[in-house]
Structures are given as structure tokens and as C-alpha cells.
Structure 1
Amino acid sequence: MNIASVNNLFLNTMTPSIERTEQPKTTFSTLMEEKITETNNQLNAADEALTQLASGHAENLHQTMITLEQAKLSFQYLEQIRNRLMTAYQELLREQI
């Protein structure tokens, strides 16, 4: 009995269970870089809005306050991410080897 022909038939019908997937296009570092850049831009816009308000050139006080609050919330969000990362890092340091 020729087993080789049966083996070839069986092996050809099997699909590979492990397929290579593409690398994700966005990594954690790129997401963090984008968030830091976005927060920096919002802080710069808030600073510019405050400068305009102090010089008397601000046309809309409400828009200035909205810009300030957006920058504040964005910075607080980024600060919470940093705090969580630091907590995770400290827990890793406490791990027993």
C-alpha cells in the first residue's frame, strides 16, 4: 500500500492554522506621540487665546473659554495616561524574579 500518496492528499487539504498577520499600522508609541502633539497644539492655542484676550483683541469670550477648557481637559487626560504608566512600571519593579 502506497502511503505517500495518501499523505500528500491529506497535507494538501489542510490549511495552515497560523497565518502571518500584518503589523498594526498604529502602535502605542505613535498614538502617544499624536496625543502629545495634539495636547501641545491645544495648549499653544489656549495661550494664544489668552494673549488675544489680555490685549483686548479677543472677539468672543466664550470661544476663548472653550479653547482653555479643551486644553485643560486634554492635558489632564495625558497626565492620567502618564500616571497609569508610572503605576504599571512601579508594579513591574515590585515583581519578584
Structure 2
Amino acid sequence: MDTKGIEQMLSVLRTTAAQASGKTPETPAVDGAVDFASVLKGSIDKVNSTQQSATQMAEKMVAGDTSQNLHEVMVALQTASVSFQEMVQVRNKLVTAYQEMMNMQV
């Protein structure tokens, strides 16, 4: 999973949180504008397509398609599982950052 967009989002969140608390940001602001919604949607779409591809491979193998290798199917299923778990962890971090920002006293 491409983490460059996620790192940029986290950098923007840290900068915003530091500015809101009146502190100097630890990391410099991102040079280019980051469209949070498009990066998030792109990441979710990528995880979704990985899961759908793995599911299709597994269904073909169960149906008796001899072109599907058990090893490839298992790797695809595990990749889909790990990418989903990674997405959940990123979501958890974003929710935590949001909650911390909302709890800041202005």
C-alpha cells in the first residue's frame, strides 16, 4: 500500500494540531496541497479492489478452475487481509488524532 499520501495527511494533521495549540509545528508544512478526501478514497478503493481480486481468485479455485494456483490464491487472500488490517489501523490513528484535536482547548 502506498503510504506517501497517508504520511502527508498525518503531517498536515500534526501541523494543524500544533498551530491550534499555539506550538511550533515539529514537521514543516507540506509543499503541495493534499486533498484528504481523494487520498482516503483512493486508499479505500485500492484495498477494496485487492479484496475483490482475492475473493474472485478463491471462488475460481473452489469452482475447479485449474489455472488458479493454491499458493497464489493464499498469497492474494493474505495480502487482502493485511491491507485491510493496515487500513483499519490508519483509520484508528486518524480517529485518535481527530479526537485529540476536538479535545484541545482554544
Shorter-chain TM-score: which interval?
A: 0.5 to 0.7
| Deviation by residue 1:14-61 (Cα, 9 ceiling, x = unmatched) | xxxxxxxxx836523222111111111001011111211221215300
Deviations along 1:55-96, whole A, 9 cap, x unmatched? 121530011011111111111111111000110111122222
Establish whether residue 35 from structure 1 lines up as the match of residue 35 from structure 2. Answer: no
Range that drifts further, 28-37 or 60-69 = 28-37
Task: Name the SS of the counterpart of 2:65 in structure 1.
Answer: coil
In the TM superposition, what are the counterparts of 1:55-94 in structure 2 within 5 Å?
55-58=63-66, 59-94=68-103
The 1-side partners of 2:52 and 2:43 are apart by 14
User: Which runs of structure 1 show a deviation greater than 6 angstroms over 4 or more consecutive aligned residues?
Assistant: none
- 1:51 corresponds, among 36, 59, 82, to 59
Distance 2:82 2:40 in 1: 16
Q: Amino acid of the residue matched to residue 45 of structure 1?
A: S
Q: Distance in 2 between matches of 1:26 and 1:52?
A: 39
| % identical aligned pairs | 32
Structure 1 unaligned regions, length at least 5:
1-22
CA distance in 1, matches of 2:57, 2:45: 18
Partners of 1:88 and 1:64 lie apart in 2 by 36
- Radius of gyration: which is bigger? 1
Q: CA RMSD in A?
A: 1.9
Distance 1:28 1:93 in 2: 18
* Relative contact order, higher structure (CA 8 A, sep 6+): 2
Q: Cα 1:26–1:86, aligned 2, differ >3 Å: closer, same or farther?
A: closer
